[in-house]
Amino acid sequence: MKAAFSGPLEKVDNCCYRIPKGYRSDMRVDGLIFANDKLMESIRSDQAPEQVANVATLPGIQGASLAMPDIHWGYGFCIGGVCATDPADGGVISPGGVGYDINCGVRLCKTNLFLDDVKPHLRELVKELFHTIPAGVGRTGKYKFDEKEVRELMGRGASYAVGRDLGVPADLGHIEANGRIDDSDPDEVSKHAVKRGSEQCGTLGSGNHFLEVQVVDQIADDDVAKAFGLELNQVCVMIHSGSRGLGYQVCDDALASFRNAPAKYGITLPDRQLACAPVDSPEGKKYIAAMRAAANFGFCNRQLLMHQAREVFAVVFGRSWEDLGMELLYDVAHNIAKLEEHTVDGVRKKLWVHRKGATRAFPAGHPELPQAYKATGQPVIIPGDMGRASWVLVGGAASMERTFGSTCHGAGRAMSRTAAKTDAVGRRIDKELEARGVIAMASSRQGLAEEQPKAYKNVDDVVSVVHNAGLSGVVGGSGHRVDGSLSGN
């Protein structure tokens, strides 16, 4: 067990705590953790706040080293961490600030079905989803791509799938960056990474990745919900996955190439897992190009997952997915670094914003928003755990002022996977969930044990912080789920 954080945590307001840069002589900026008093009790219990302080030492960091209320220990950066660096001020790029699963993210697909429509077909639907959509460690799917195709896919993102009739052009207008990060370079991705991804596009993966059927049972903002096309008792499909083995290998390759970079560029780090390089260095440029390519793979992966879900719904309900109203609400990335414009101390700058277990929360009018959401702000999709709520929020203006346009990405773990498995010994998590009205299927009981509801913070507490801080506003939620189709280890 990791030791509790012993440094100072000064309360800024009811939603934010500060680690002052005076805590350590190597910190360049303060650390800010968005949390309330209740969440801080658990956040103090491990060394994730120390990781916030560690990130505050990175060259070129701007504003503050930030953490969202779903903060927990991660590789180098905490999960839930946000950091912006200025390349004009010696700013660095750090693979640990993106994570191994590059462009892990969430998408939400609407339907025109309601709870009463789905209940008679529930078990059949769960079974068909689970047996159709590959889930679990190393699983491959029905989509096979050779090396040339994978590299083309990494250049085009979700549009590659749409071009093969595995989606429609309207889907692209409801994905962050239209489902394609510009200036990727697939040739910077190793052959080994390409091989790992060649049969995994369109698969969920393991750990906390899932596909779920959910029911909207709360509406908090009628106007925005109407603009998003959400209403009470409506059935939706939520998908959580990333770039699979390809993205993992891109990160692994980058960490190997960054191993000697800090010494080469005269950078002193408190933790070798923060390995970084100047943005404009050869190492930095290579990683950024490969990271963008892996991000495009992630967008395409979720596109193919949604396409398979649409096919299953069409079979189960005997109607085309178009007739079922299975339109994409939005797709957001939460493990990525992007070059964005932000104002720091009254000066407009282009910054590299690392978001690891954090997602964009751009407000109405932001120039990077798709046309569909210019007037409302972007949808923010926050999944919880298998037994509690998920939420749809909308980007808030305060996010631009306080967090470089960022908010939380989920509930955040409260227990390690090892502790969760130990806690589940002698229990049947699937039966416990079914007693709560949730049908869950996984590739292993161990997978369900690791992802049991008790392993996560209460997402309602996490969402209340970002809502009250003005980072993103609650639109509606799913407090009980009709299905959790979860990948297991």
Secondary structure of 238-269 in HEC code, one letter for each residue? EEEECCHHHHHHHHHHHHHHCCCHHHHCCCCC
Instruction: Report yes or no: 362 and 332 within 8 Å, Cβ to Cβ.
Output: no
User: Going by DSSP bridges, is the β-strand pair 277-278/92-93 parallel, antiparallel, or unpaired?
Assistant: antiparallel
Considering 72, 409, 467, 480, which one is annotated as catalytic? 409
Would residue 409 show up in a list of annotated catalytic residues for this protein? yes
- Closest among 354, 377, 457, 426 to 52, alpha carbons compared: 354
Residue 380 phi/psi, 5° resolution?
Answer: -120, 120
- Axis crossing angle, helix 147-156 with helix 282-317, rounded to the nearest 10: 90
Instruction: Report yes or no: 68 and 41 within 8 Å, Cβ to Cβ.
Output: no
**319 exposure class (CB count in 10 Å sphere: 0-12, 13-18, 19+):** middle
Distance (Å, whole) CA 383 – CA 471: 17
- What DSSP character marks residue 436? T
Distance (Å, whole) CA 253 – CA 471: 34
Distance (Å, whole) CA 85 – CA 154: 26
Under DSSP, is residue 441 helix (H, G, I), strand (E, B) or coil? strand
Side-chain half-sphere exposure of 263, counting CA atoms within 13 A: 4
Distance (Å, whole) CA 263 – CA 437: 55
Instruction: Report yes or no: 412 and 208 within 8 Å, Cβ to Cβ.
Output: no
In sequence order, what are the residues at sequence separation of 6 or more whose Cβ sits closer than 8 angstroms to the Cβ of residue 20?
8, 10, 30
Which residues belong to the active site? 409
